[in-house]
Amino acid sequence: DAEPPKPDAEAPKPKDEEPIDRVPIVRTLTKNPNNVQIFLVGSKLRAHPVGVKMGPLLAMNPQWRSFFENTGIDPIQDIDFMVLTGPMMRVSGQVVAYMQFSGDMARVDKAVGTLLDKSDPKGEWIPDMPVKAARGMADVNERLFAIKPKEKMLAVIPSPYPSASERKKLEKKNELEAVLTKADKMAKAQFDAFSKSKPTDLSKADFAIDATMREPWKLFGKDGTVEISVLGKVEVIPKTIKHGRISVVPEGGGAKITLTLLSTDEKQAAEDAKALASVWPFAKMGAKGKFGIDLPDLTFEVKGNVITGKIDVSEAFLNTAFKLGEELTEKARKQGEGKKKRKRK
């Protein structure tokens, strides 16, 4: 009469952890799919000889220059950590940004106030909210700003309000008032949630940068391939990789970089690891030829459906990568200015 033995429980799959899981308020504020997340720990980066130089580089980013420009705020020196998350980083209007500052919050107020004055249409501080709140344009999209001066917290949230062109369409349909009422409720709920949040302590974190991306093959375009002479189109990251994560831990002047990829299952992970290993030599050739960067050797380990690769990089390597970042950011800045000029015409 004894019960038959129960089958062994299936081994739990690794949790698909995300940087924003560490900061509950960011999870609360995000309404769009969090396909891409970037976690920058300024308190770690400013103690690193290369990381400390990233402040001006981040401030040059076309999507965030309007916030940092002429404010004296350095994203590394003055911000203990920053979280950016959204469907795509290049669509900045859908990105949530959360920051905890180390410096004077009066400069944060000034930065937001300056941005509101430059907004077209002009931005405004919103009265009667549980936190210091504002709405205004940043880059080409309207955002909500929530500030808790005492806790040195700032959140920049996608605006729920319709754009000028959307308002015209809604007016013709006699739907504008209802949409604005709904937007007011959404904004109030976001500010309420932020007012109840507390700062996050990252003093024990070892990483300086932690970034994740769903379907990381999309880094290489719509089909995930790059053109390599002789070989033609090559798939750099297999499409069966559903999630990628990179963590950078400072090590002296260099860093330890860990790449973690989640495949569909254990069998597929083994095949994906072989595919990645076969492509890496060509990635090294391409990086050297196009950017002058000597990528180190990389081997992949497989455990279940998780593929892990680790690299130790020197300070010289990071300096070369930093210079490349400066060049690409400057190129993006010029392209962004060109697009704005053409749009005005």
Cα gap 222→137, rounded to integer Å: 30
Cα gap 41→21, rounded to integer Å: 15
Question: Is residue 26 within a helix (H) or strand (E), and if so which, with residue range?
Answer: helix 24-29
Whether 310 has a pLDDT exceeding 60, the answer reads yes
Cα gap 53→335, rounded to integer Å: 23
Residue bearing the bigger pLDDT, 292 or 273: 273
Q: Is the dihedral of CA 75, 244, 159, 336 positive or negative?
A: positive
Cα gap 83→100, rounded to integer Å: 9
| Spatial CA neighbour of 202 closest among 21, 81, 25, 37 | 81
Whether 7 has a pLDDT exceeding 50, the answer reads no
* 146 burial level (CB within 10 Å; 0-12, 13-18, 19+): buried
Whether 228 has a pLDDT exceeding 80, the answer reads no
Question: Is residue 198 within a helix (H) or strand (E), and if so which, with residue range?
Answer: none
3-state class (DSSP) for residue 58: helix
Q: How far is CA 250 from CA 16, 78, 255, 320, in A?
A: 24, 19, 4, 16
pTM: 0.85
**What pLDDT is stored for residue 4 in this prediction?**
43
3-state secondary structure labels for all residues of 288-322? HHHHCCCCCCCCEEEECCEEEEEEEECHHHHHHHH
pLDDT band (50, 70, 90) for residue 131 = very high
**What pLDDT is stored for residue 63 in this prediction?**
62
Whether 8 has a pLDDT exceeding 50, the answer reads no
| Per-residue pLDDT reduced to its tens digit, 145-187 | 999 999 999 999 999 999 888 999 999 999 999 999 999 999 9
3-state class (DSSP) for residue 238: coil
Residue range 243-264: mean pLDDT, rounded: 94
| Per-residue pLDDT reduced to its tens digit, 49-95 | 999 998 888 877 766 777 777 777 888 999 999 998 988 877 777 88
Whether 329 has a pLDDT exceeding 90, the answer reads no
Q: State which amino acid sits at residue 146.
A: A
- For 152, the token pair is 């040195």
Cis preceding linkage at 121, omega within 30? yes
Question: Is residue 235 within a helix (H) or strand (E), and if so which, with residue range?
Answer: strand 232-235
Residue bearing the bigger pLDDT, 328 or 216: 216
Cα gap 153→108, rounded to integer Å: 10
Mean per-residue pLDDT over the chain, rounded? 85
pLDDT band (50, 70, 90) for residue 307 = very high
**What pLDDT is stored for residue 70 in this prediction?**
73
**How far is the first Cα of the chain from the last one, in angstroms, to the nearest whole number?**
85
**What pLDDT is stored for residue 154 in this prediction?**
96
Residue bearing the bigger pLDDT, 11 or 142: 142
**What pLDDT is stored for residue 2 in this prediction?**
44
